[in-house]
């Protein structure tokens, strides 16, 4: 930078651009975060970064950032330190400050410069949501000065340096909102809205951002110094460490399939069973470019799935031609003609082993060599289903969760006879669908349901013991779960919960919650029937507040059984390692991401403390709390 300033003759201006194909700068290397050991070390690093951008801003000539593709985090902060920003409208352009997702906030002057550039309302929105914006929006909010076709990017940057228009300034009302006496009022309002979404003790970064603005108003050297201090403390907080851990685990799951082969794993998918799951998996696959044939017993049973798919395509794909193309890829096939050409035959018929086996006996002779047979079973072991196949090596569980479009994780369940090649094909297919695969061994409940059920079970026992439903669900949410256990049970369907509960009860001698049996007997199945633990209206539970304080042990009662079950699954080798298990539970159940997963939470709190507490609960409530023998191996 100093060389630039000292050049003679002095350049008229500076253009900053990147030669990388995927974008300008997609942000910092997240792995580097994990190496920072103390806030002091973080502060030194962050300050050094800030100073580079300060020098860029202080150059004696104007500068322009010429942007394309990803312009995220530190990349956007760099761009904001330039006098102007111009961006290529290349369809991939994405500008954002997504740091809060990792439990931090911008640290290279971004909390200050964004406010100066866009005004406090837009800047805070960009940083608090962490959601990147596209080109048109970036132009509208003042983040960029021009949006041009990619081929005009360089010329436009030069023009700006020649014309030197006055830099963009925020709307006048934002200047008023930024005044010292006004800031506390706005900050209080924003904090109240934040509190309805995330708790400060769980996610401190958005609150820290707000505090910075309230104190310094994005002005003066003190605001940069405070930003650096704040981010370096956040970086070393358990929340940020765990969010970074979850982010890296997500990468690990993605990488499990290995490098995507040049030809797709599954050009043609045949789905049998056009119900809730089969219909939605078929639609999702067609959306992702796969040719899908969809079979059920009659055309009338396929029709609702096609209607749902059409609505889904229209919602997701703005372009009507793209939506029509997706629909054309999804073909009803009552006669099952598609079986012969399919690379993956995916079964999602009723949860009945006899029915599934009878179907496989008809399918297998028709399948082409090399095609795999996948089942969406949620509770039947793969070995039970593979029994009568001529080639059981080709059967694998590909267990999607409901709702398919929203749930990222898919369990890839290998039975004793499933070949590694079949499991690998299933992994690749899952990635083709842009889902996260979790490989596991066939065992009762597989991984996710097995670990989640104790959360629901224990909630029903607390309910039977007189704890109000509102208190129970608030306790689960207070820990950081996305839903309380009873609301979750209603959401999943009490019949589904009962079925999984019975499988687990039989396998592990656990009690089946009597209230589940009773409600299902009364056809109260939760959300889908309009009543379960809650009465449901328009897909929302009617809640009744309770003023009762939660019992001291309620949170542990709900959470620790999940941890204990996780340890048991690990001991039995149902899943490869503790990190995979944590990733699976976080991505499938939303298990408090800021806690890094059930086993990470156990480690953070202390294995000794967890087992001590389990023993205490065992004495109070019974054998289901007995600490698993594998805890000692995790110490």
Shortest distance in whole angstroms from residue 358 CB to ligand NAI: 7
Residue number, 274 or 423, with CB nearest to ligand NAI: 274
Shortest distance in whole angstroms from residue 249 CB to ligand NAI: 22
Shortest distance in whole angstroms from residue 198 CB to ligand NAI: 28
Of the candidates 7, 10, 42, the residue with the CA atom closest to the CA atom of residue 28: 42
Residue number, 296 or 556, with CB nearest to ligand NAI: 296
Residue number, 280 or 628, with CB nearest to ligand NAI: 280
Q: Is the dihedral of CA 402, 405, 407, 410 positive or negative?
A: positive
Residue number, 207 or 400, with CB nearest to ligand NAI: 400
Q: Is the dihedral of CA 206, 211, 217, 218 positive or negative?
A: negative
Q: Which residue has the tokens 């090399």?
A: 370
Shortest distance in whole angstroms from residue 92 CB to ligand NAI: 34
Distance CA(277)–CA(83), nearest Å, equals 52
Distance CA(454)–CA(562), nearest Å, equals 6
Of the candidates 225, 161, 264, 580, the residue with the CA atom closest to the CA atom of residue 411: 580
% helix / strand / coil in the chain, to the nearest 5?
A: 55, 10, 35
Residue number, 291 or 377, with CB nearest to ligand NAI: 377
Contact status, residue 405 vs residue 284, Cβ threshold 8 Å: yes
Of the candidates 423, 386, 120, the residue with the CA atom closest to the CA atom of residue 257: 423
Shortest distance in whole angstroms from residue 275 CB to ligand NAI: 2
Shortest distance in whole angstroms from residue 286 CB to ligand NAI: 17
Residue number, 350 or 547, with CB nearest to ligand NAI: 350
Contact status, residue 364 vs residue 391, Cβ threshold 8 Å: yes
Distance CA(2)–CA(59), nearest Å, equals 8
Contact status, residue 312 vs residue 281, Cβ threshold 8 Å: no
Distance CA(176)–CA(180), nearest Å, equals 9
Residue number, 277 or 409, with CB nearest to ligand NAI: 277
Residue number, 96 or 445, with CB nearest to ligand NAI: 445
Shortest distance in whole angstroms from residue 296 CB to ligand NAI: 4
Residue number, 142 or 338, with CB nearest to ligand NAI: 338
Residue number, 376 or 422, with CB nearest to ligand NAI: 376
Contact status, residue 372 vs residue 347, Cβ threshold 8 Å: no
Distance CA(494)–CA(486), nearest Å, equals 10
Of the candidates 426, 439, 424, the residue with the CA atom closest to the CA atom of residue 258: 424
Shortest distance in whole angstroms from residue 348 CB to ligand NAI: 4
Shortest distance in whole angstroms from residue 380 CB to ligand NAI: 7
Distance CA(7)–CA(5), nearest Å, equals 6
Residue number, 452 or 617, with CB nearest to ligand NAI: 452
Shortest distance in whole angstroms from residue 345 CB to ligand NAI: 12
Contact status, residue 438 vs residue 253, Cβ threshold 8 Å: yes
By the 10 Å C-beta count (0-12 exposed, 13-18 middle, 19+ buried), 623 is classed as: exposed
Task: Give contact residues for ligand NAI (rule: CB under 6 A).
Answer: 272-278, 295-297, 301, 348-351, 355, 359, 376-378, 400-402, 496
Shortest distance in whole angstroms from residue 401 CB to ligand NAI: 6
Return the number of other C-beta atoms located less than 10 Å from residue 552's C-beta.
8
Helix (H) or strand (E) segment spanning residue 144: none
Distance CA(529)–CA(523), nearest Å, equals 8
Residue number, 205 or 309, with CB nearest to ligand NAI: 309
Residue number, 278 or 392, with CB nearest to ligand NAI: 278
Shortest distance in whole angstroms from residue 572 CB to ligand NAI: 22
Minimal CB distance residue for ligand NAI: 275
SS (H, E, C) 441-498: ECCCCCCHHHHHHHHHHHHHHHHHCCCCHHHHHHHHHHHCCCCCHHHHHHHHCHHHHH
Shortest distance in whole angstroms from residue 278 CB to ligand NAI: 6
Residue number, 438 or 470, with CB nearest to ligand NAI: 438
By the 10 Å C-beta count (0-12 exposed, 13-18 middle, 19+ buried), 176 is classed as: exposed
Shortest distance in whole angstroms from residue 580 CB to ligand NAI: 20
Q: Write b or e for each residue in 156-166: b if 16 or more Cβ atoms lie within 10 A of its Cβ, otherwise e.
A: bbbebbeeeee
């Amino acid at each position: 930078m100093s060389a630039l300033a000292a050049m003679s003759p002095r350049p008229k201006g500076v253009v900053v651009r990147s030669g990388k194909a995927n974008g300008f700068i997609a942000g910092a290397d997240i792995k580097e975060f994990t190496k920072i050991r103390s806030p002091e070390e973080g502060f030194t690093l962050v300050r050094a970064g800030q100073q580079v951008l300060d020098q860029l801003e202080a150059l004696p000539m104007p500068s322009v950032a010429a942007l394309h593709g990803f312009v995220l985090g530190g990349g956007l902060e760099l761009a904001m330190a330039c006098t102007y920003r111009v961006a290529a409208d290349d369809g991939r352009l994405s500008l954002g400050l997504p740091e809060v997702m990792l439990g931090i906030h911008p640290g290279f002057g971004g909390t200050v410069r964004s406010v100066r550039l866009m005004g406090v309302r837009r800047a805070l929105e960009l940083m608090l949501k962490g959601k990147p914006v596209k080109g048109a929006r970036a132009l509208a909010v003042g983040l960029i000065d021009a949006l041009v076709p990619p081929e005009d990017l360089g010329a436009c940057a030069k023009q700006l340096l020649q014309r030197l228009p006055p830099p963009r300034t925020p709307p006048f009302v934002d200047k008023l909102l930024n005044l010292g006496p006004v800031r506390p009022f706005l900050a209080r309002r924003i904090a109240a809205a934040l509190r309805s979404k995330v708790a400060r003790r769980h996610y401190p970064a958005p609150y820290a951002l707000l505090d910075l603005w309230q104190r310094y108003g994005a002005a003066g050297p003190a605001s940069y110094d405070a930003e650096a201090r704040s981010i370096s403390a956040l970086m070393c907080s358990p929340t940020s460490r765990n969010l970074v851990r979850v982010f890296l685990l997500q990468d690990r799951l993605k990488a499990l399939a290995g490098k995507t082969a040049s030809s797709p794993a599954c050009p043609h998918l045949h789905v049998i069973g056009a119900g809730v799951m089969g219909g939605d998996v078929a639609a999702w696959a067609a959306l992702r470019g796969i040719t899908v044939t969809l079979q059920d017993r009659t055309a009338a049973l396929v029709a609702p799935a096609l209607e749902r798919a059409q609505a889904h395509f229209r919602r997701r794909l703005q372009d009507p031609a793209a939506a029509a193309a997706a629909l054309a890829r999804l073909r009803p096939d009552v006669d099952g003609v598609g079986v012969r050409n399919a690379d993956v035959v995916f079964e999602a018929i009723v949860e009945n082993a006899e029915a599934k086996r009878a179907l496989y006996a008809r399918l297998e002779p028709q399948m082409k060599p090399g095609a795999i047979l996948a089942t969406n079973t949620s509770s039947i072991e793969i070995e039970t289903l593979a029994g009568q196949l001529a080639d059981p090596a080709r059967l694998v569980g590909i267990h999607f969760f409901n709702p398919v479009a929203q749930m990222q994780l898919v369990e890839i369940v290998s039975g004793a006879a499933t070949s590694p090649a079949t499991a690998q094909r299933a992994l690749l297919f899952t990635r083709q669908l842009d889902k996260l695969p979790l490989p596991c061994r066939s065992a009762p409940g597989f991984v996710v349901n097995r670990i989640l059920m104790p959360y629901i079970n224990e909630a029903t026992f607390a309910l039977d013991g007189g704890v109000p439903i509102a208190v129970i669900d608030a306790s689960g949410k207070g820990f950081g779960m996305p839903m309380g256990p009873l609301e979750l049970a209603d959401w999943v369907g009490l019949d589904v919960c009962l079925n999984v509960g019975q499988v687990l009860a039989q396998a592990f001698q656990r009690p089946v919650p009597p209230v589940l049996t009773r409600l299902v007997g009364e056809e109260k199945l939760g959300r889908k029937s309009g009543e379960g633990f809650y009465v449901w209206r328009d897909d929302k539970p009617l809640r009744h507040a309770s003023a009762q304080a939660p019992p001291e042990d309620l949170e542990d009662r709900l959470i620790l059984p999940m941890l204990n079950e996780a340890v048991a699954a690990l001991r039995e080798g149902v899943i490869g390692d503790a990190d995979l298990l944590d990733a699976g539970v976080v991505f499938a159940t939303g298990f408090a991401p800021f806690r890094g997963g059930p086993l990470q939470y156990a480690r953070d709190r202390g294995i000794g403390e967890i087992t001590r507490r389990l023993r205490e609960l065992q004495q109070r409530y019974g054998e289901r709390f007995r600490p698993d023998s594998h805890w000692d191996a995790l110490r």
